[in-house]
Amino acid sequence: MSKVSVTGSKGVMPSVIETIHGMNLVHLSDYDGSWEGFDNGNPIEGADDASEKLVTVRALESTLGLSETNVEAASGPLEDDWETRLEEIRTRVNELDDERGEVREELRQVEEKIDRVAPFAELGIDLDLLSGYESVDVLVGEGPTGAVEEALAASDDVRAFETFTGGDVVAVVAAPTADAGDDPIDDALVGVEFTRHEVPETEQSPSAYVAELEERQQELEYQIEDIDATLEELEQAEGPFLLRVEETLSVEVQQAEAPLQFATSEHAFIAEGWVPSEEYDRLVAALNDAVDDSVEIEELERASYDRHGRTHTEDVHQGTQDAKEDEEEATDADSSQQKAVTDGGTAVTMDNRPPTIQNNPKGSKSFETLVQAVNRPKYNELDPTILLWLTFPLFFGFMISDVGYGLLYAGIGYYLYRSFDSPGISSLGGVAIWAGISTIIFGILFGEFFGLHELGYMLFGEGGPPLGDKGLSPATADYVNAWLIVAIALGVLHLNVGWILDFVENINHGHGLWGAITHSGSWLLMLNGIWVWVFTPQAADVKPDFLYTT
């Protein structure tokens, strides 16, 4: 990768931005504000308007449930009257969304009324008979009838009562004593689990009232379905247009906000970024074609980094091609910022780390998310995605080794992979699919299906599955020790692969052979030395017997 600097007057800055963006080659570095006389630039005129329209488009897409998985973006340039069309769509969608919100609110209120009246319909007593009395109190609710009657009989504030039941609903009619309080029934039922229902205000019978409410509920549900169908038609009809507008506006906003990453003075700007070294000449030619000689383009350095924070550069501007190392002491790569070496001592204060793009085969793409959960590999550093793809499903399948569970993992993974737009969740689904496939394969080899072992004999006859038994029964307990040794051996092998790769990387990037021996070779010697000793007869009397007898 080459770090380039583009310097010019502000008058040509929009053309430079458009050219760079159109080539899709340069990874811009953010200016950190440390140069005297230079500040971060301001967005180009029109950025706010484009951002506002972009927010509008994305809000419409959210309301319509629009995504590229079910609708493809339209091709070609936008029409001249696209803003008018966008406003018409916004007005129509907002009207439908508001109408749907009102209908949903009314539906919620109707459902609440049904919930309140349903107990009275179950009771079978007209609502006008449950209120309006002066000499007796009436209470309706749900609770244990026996406990309610016992509490009322024991109350000194109730001289007579009668209960009526229907299902779980209880209606209490009680005559209070002369010196009773305001709510004698409530006072009597203090110790009883009783849920009170307010009597609805209607002249209809409960069953008729519920029937009327349910009819209204169905009408409202039909209205929501009609609105949803209309919105779906709009999605199919206007979706390609909205996606195309979003794509166009996203590009406009990115271009308009690019100066925020530049160092600018009153009349000039400086932009820095990384470009593939082989594309540098094409970048220079494109900028010269766009703005002639109005900008100064300079290749500052060609850099690579190792995992230990050591910087390797080629001082391109001075014409030397000898790689040199940063003379400052290397610090831990995960906690320190790497310092660039540039031509002629010019200070480069923008972010000097080359960008990293992981490029792996399609089948292993899902495992890039697991790698990034630890850290994205640095430029010129080994990308372990392929190794993770080869080992993670293998170890997972060996650990679970059950056809039934493998089918579950694969099914859940397929659902996540197909149903979610989030790259993280869909990648997790891809990992689960591979893990499920591996689990199924090992499940066949172990002859296990949801913990049952008959599958092995069904597939492979009386001899049983090829890998034998897991040792889960007393008769086959020796298998436990055997698989423990196999698991340890695989783990040691896995660690060896990791340290060998680290050994090679240390040789290639910064430490040489001796550095590789001290950094990685020492771990290899210790790892293998310990485990070779563990399996040797030396001091066998203090080691488990199964190490030698299994």
At 402-428, the pLDDT tens digits run 999 999 999 999 998 888 877 888 888
Give the span between the Cα atoms of 147 and 34, in whole angstroms: 80
Residue 342's pLDDT band, with cuts at 50, 70 and 90, is very low
Angle at 431 between CA 450 and CA 471, to 5 degrees: 35
In a domain, 219, yes or no: no
Structure tokens at 77: 């340039």
Residues 406 and 295 in one domain: no
Buried b (16+ CB within 10 A) or exposed e, 277-289: bebbeebbebbee
Give the span between the Cα atoms of 376 and 353, in whole angstroms: 13
User: Contact, 327 vs 313, CB < 8 A?
Assistant: no
Structure tokens at 10: 């502000």
Residues 381 and 488 in one domain: yes
* Residues sharing a CB contact under 8 Å with residue 426, sequence separation 6 or more, in sequence order: 366, 416, 417, 418, 420
Distance of CA 340 to the CA centre of its chain: 34
Residues 322 and 421 in one domain: no
Could you tell me the pTM of the whole model? 0.57
Give the span between the Cα atoms of 115 and 24, in whole angstroms: 60
In a domain, 49, yes or no: no
Mean pLDDT, range 271-299, rounded to an integer: 87
Angle at 301 between CA 295 and CA 303, to 5 degrees: 140
Residue 228's pLDDT band, with cuts at 50, 70 and 90, is very high
Output 335 or 5, whichever has higher pLDDT.
5
DSSP letter at 473 equals S
Residues 276 and 193 in one domain: no
Distance of CA 18 to the CA centre of its chain: 32
In a domain, 225, yes or no: no
pLDDT at residue number 527: 86
pLDDT at residue number 340: 35
In a domain, 354, yes or no: no
Starting at the earlier edge strand, list the strands of the sheet with 195-197.
Answer: 158-166, 169-176, 137-142, 195-197
Residue 183's pLDDT band, with cuts at 50, 70 and 90, is confident
Which percentage of the chain shows pLDDT scores above 70?
87
Q: Report whether pLDDT(318) > 50.
A: no
Residues 402 and 319 in one domain: no
Residues 162 and 295 in one domain: no
Place of tokens 């244990």: 144
Residues 423 and 513 in one domain: yes
Q: What is the mean pLDDT of the chain?
A: 81
Residues 367 and 299 in one domain: no
Buried b (16+ CB within 10 A) or exposed e, 154-190: ebebbeebeebeeeebbbbbbebeeebeeebbebbbe
Q: What is the CATH number of the domain that holds 326?
A: 3.30.70
Residues 391 and 472 in one domain: yes
Residues 273 and 399 in one domain: no
Residues 305 and 271 in one domain: yes
Give the span between the Cα atoms of 472 and 451, in whole angstroms: 10
In a domain, 245, yes or no: no
Name the residue type at position 308.
Answer: H
In a domain, 163, yes or no: yes
Of the three residues 194, 210, 226, the one that is the final residue of a domain is 210
Give the span between the Cα atoms of 310 and 378, in whole angstroms: 12
Closest CA to 291 of 41, 38, 2, 9: 9
pLDDT at residue number 351: 56
What is the domain range of residue 160?
A: 111-210
State the total domains in the chain. Answer: 3
Of the three residues 169, 192, 210, the one that is the final residue of a domain is 210
Closest CA to 255 of 45, 17, 91: 17
At residue 44, φ and ψ (nearest 5 deg) are -70, 150
Of the three residues 184, 210, 236, the one that is the final residue of a domain is 210
Give the span between the Cα atoms of 230 and 40, in whole angstroms: 47
In a domain, 239, yes or no: no
Least confident of 282-296, 369-383, 476-490: 369-383
pLDDT at residue number 303: 64
Residues 525 and 457 in one domain: yes
In a domain, 215, yes or no: no
Give the span between the Cα atoms of 385 and 383, in whole angstroms: 6
